[in-house]
Amino acid sequence: MRRMTRRNCLTAGIAFQALPVLGFQAEKSKLTITSVRVVRTRARRPLAKYAPAPVSWSTTGVEVASPMSMYPEYKAKRSLFMDGVPGGFTVEIGTDKGVTGLGNGGPGGAALVEGQFARLLMGRDPFDIERNWDILFRSSYYFDRAGIATNAISGVDLAMWDLIGKALGMPVYKLLGGETKPRIPAYCTGNDLEQHAKFGLQTAEACNAARPGPTDAREGV
Q: What is the pLDDT of residue 21?
A: 58
Strand partners for 100: 94
Q: What is the pLDDT of residue 72?
A: 92
Q: Judge whether 135 and 149 are in contact, CB under 8 Å.
A: no
**Cα–Cα nearest to 154, from 106, 209, 202:** 106
**Residue-by-residue DSSP string for the chain:** -PPP-HHHHHH-TTTSPPPPPPGGGGS--S--EEEEEEE----SSPPPP----TTSHHHHT-----TTTTSHHHHS-THHHHTT----EEEEEEETTS-EEEEEE-TT-HHHIIIIIHHHHTT--TT-HHHHHHHHHHHTTTT-SSSHHHHHHHHHHHHHHHHHHHHHT--HHHHTT--SSS-------SS-HHHHHHTT---HHHHHHHSPPPSSHHHH-
Task: Encode pLDDT of 69-128 as tens digits.
Answer: 999 999 988 889 888 888 899 999 999 999 999 999 999 999 999 999 999 999 999 999
Q: How confident is the model at residue 52 (pLDDT cuts 50, 70, 90)?
A: confident
Q: How confident is the model at residue 64 (pLDDT cuts 50, 70, 90)?
A: confident
**Cα–Cα nearest to 112, from 94, 129, 137, 76:** 137
List C-alpha distances in Å: 75 to 3, 59, 72, 141. 30, 16, 5, 33
CA distance 140 to 150: 9
Given CATH 3.40.50.970, say whether it is the number of domain 21-40+53-178: no
Q: How confident is the model at residue 219 (pLDDT cuts 50, 70, 90)?
A: very low
Q: What is the pTM of this model?
A: 0.75
pLDDT at residue 198 greater than cutoff 90? no
The region that residue 97 occupies, defined by phi over 0 for left and psi between -120 and 50 for alpha, beta otherwise, is: alpha
Percentage of the chain exceeding pLDDT 90: 45
Q: What is the rounded average pLDDT of the residues 171-186? A: 87
The lowest-confidence range among 16-25, 107-116, 157-166, 204-213 is: 16-25
Q: Judge whether 160 and 25 are in contact, CB under 8 Å.
A: no
**Cα–Cα nearest to 156, from 173, 137, 177, 172:** 137
Q: What is the pLDDT of residue 8?
A: 56
Percentage of the chain exceeding pLDDT 70: 78
Most confident of 26-30, 159-163, 208-212, 213-217: 159-163
